[in-house]
Structure 1
Amino acid sequence: MADDFRTTEVGERYAQALFDLADETKALEAVRADLKSLRAAFGESADLRRLLTSPVIASDDQAKGLTAIADKAKFNGTTKKFLGLLAANGRARDLTAVIAAFEALYAKKTGVVAAEVVSAQALSAAQLKSIQSALRTALGKDPETTVRVDPSILGGLKVKVGSKLFDASLKTKLDQMKFALKRA
């Protein structure tokens, strides 16, 4: 599943345009909330992932789909127009990169530290509280934490803060062991 939200050059350019417009129109918080909703929906909805990434869906249809989603979710007008423009330009597949780059721009402007926690199974409230406490201690401030479940990591955790990744997943440990055994 392509739900790794990584920035790209195209994503950064579109994100910068959206960020500047949202900032100018005093809609920065609303646009950010809309993009967070889209990010969550992307992780949960195979239909949305297909809409954005399928090469057989015409950009007009992608624009209609994204506009319908924006209407139903009552997104800010700036977000809605932006999604239509992104799809009309044939760049709907770059939405995840735009969201990642927008978050980076927002963090830089506001000083917010974002952390993404990936686990193989849903975390309990106590586990999440413990992780947030450890992050607070390590970072010296409360991070905005996003939690995602990815069964493919088998067990353990992956924690990403900014460009730093702490990977204590079982899959990575098994891959490292497999590599070490091949070299022996």
Structure 2
Amino acid sequence: MENSGGIQASLPGRYATALFELARDAKSIDKVEASLATLRAALDQSADFKTLTTSPLIARGAATKAVAAVATMLKLDATTTKFLGVLADNRRLAQLPVIIRAFRQLAASFRGETTAEVTSAHALTDDQVTALKQSLRQRIGREVSVDLSVDPSLLGGLVVRIGSQMIDSSIKTRLNSLALAMKG
């Protein structure tokens, strides 16, 4: 598979590429992607899980056992579960968010889609996500998958990144622009 040098050049990118190739060969890209989305949600919602993945104080063996338990609890697929074990053994769990993002980009590229990183002030509803995808599809001219995240500091609006292009309609940016304009 042809990948951009940017993804393969980074350590998390190499892990994501290896996971993608395993998933592609096993014809389980969708299952792995769903498991990674579950993991991403767990990282966002659980401070304990986030600490498990980022703390250097947790021993390698303890981290391996803990992620195996989390994988069972979250009902992750076998490929993702084994992959988490490898990350824990290699002390790379802190790279999980970047690996998930890179995997999503690889999977979207494989399907002929473009990935948009969307940051909003509040979680978007399913209807809002559908409308956003449709709007981006019209703008870009191809299918778009979205990688959603929430940043309350935006106050409102969205920040959308598609490749090197960024669309920032957040209230935070508008207020900063207004403050600069008022300074003269």
Q: What's the counterpart of residue 163 of structure 2?
A: 162
Per the alignment, in what secondary structure is the counterpart of residue 94 of structure 1? helix
Q: Does the Cα contact within 8 Å between 2:112 and 2:143 map onto a contact in 1?
A: no
| SS of alignment partner, residue 172 of structure 1 | helix
Q: 1:131 and 1:17 mapped to 2: Cα distance?
A: 31
How many corresponding residue pairs?
A: 178
Deviation at 1:161, TM superposition (A): 2.3
CA contact (8 A) 2:156 2:172 kept: yes
**Farther-moved stretch of structure 1 (128-137 vs 57-66):** 128-137
**Cα distance, 1:8 vs structure 2:** 7.3
Percent of residue pairs identical: 42
For 1:89, the equivalent position in structure 2 comes to 90
How far the C-alpha of 1:108 sits from its partner, in A, is 2.0
SS state of the match for residue 160, structure 1? strand
Q: Per the alignment, in what secondary structure is the counterpart of residue 32 of structure 1?
A: helix
Specify which structure has the bigger relative contact order, considering alpha-carbon pairs within 8 angstroms and separated by 6 or more residues. 1
**Structure 1 unaligned residues grouped into runs of 5+:** 1-5
Shift of 1:179: 5.2
**Following the alignment from structure 1 to structure 2, what is the Cα–Cα distance between the partners of residues 80 and 154?**
36
1:177 Cα deviation after fit: 4.6
Q: Which residue of 2 aligns with 1:38?
A: 39
Work out the CA distance in 2 between the residues paired with 1:130 and 1:34.
Answer: 25
Range moving further from structure 2, 16-25 or 141-150: 141-150
Residue type of the partner of 1:41? A
**d(CA) in 2 for partners of 1:125 and 1:88?**
37
CA RMSD of aligned residues (A): 2.5
Q: CA deviation at 1:88?
A: 0.8
Taking the aligned partners of 2:112 and 2:90, their CA distance within structure 1 comes to 32
Match in the other structure for 1:3: none
Q: Distance in 2 between matches of 1:8 and 1:39?
A: 23
Displacement after TM superposition at 1:83 (Å): 0.3
- Helix, strand or coil for the counterpart of 1:97? helix
Q: Is the 8 A contact 1:7 1:100 kept in 2?
A: no
TM-score when normalising by structure 1 = 0.82
Q: Find the counterpart in structure 2 of residue 115 from structure 1.
A: 116
Alignment partners' CA distance in 2, 1:172 and 1:19: 36
Check conservation: 1:7, 1:97, Cα contact below 8 A: no
Once the two structures are TM-superposed, the CA of residue 7 in structure 1 deviates from its matched residue by: 9.1
Deviation, structure 1 residue 118? 2.0
Counterpart residue type for residue 117 of structure 2: E
Partners of 2:10 and 2:32 in 1: how far apart? 21
Aligned residue for 2:122, secondary structure, equals coil
In the superposition, relative to structure 1, how do residues 30 and 169 fare at CA in structure 2: closer, same or farther (>3 Å)? Answer: same
Is contact 1:52-1:92 (8 Å) kept? yes
Deviations 1:72-117 (A, max 9, x none): 2222211111100111111110111111111121122221222233
Structure 2 CA distance for partners of 1:82 and 1:126, relative to 1, 3 Å = closer
1:174 aligned partner: 175
CA contact (8 A) 1:7 1:101 kept: no
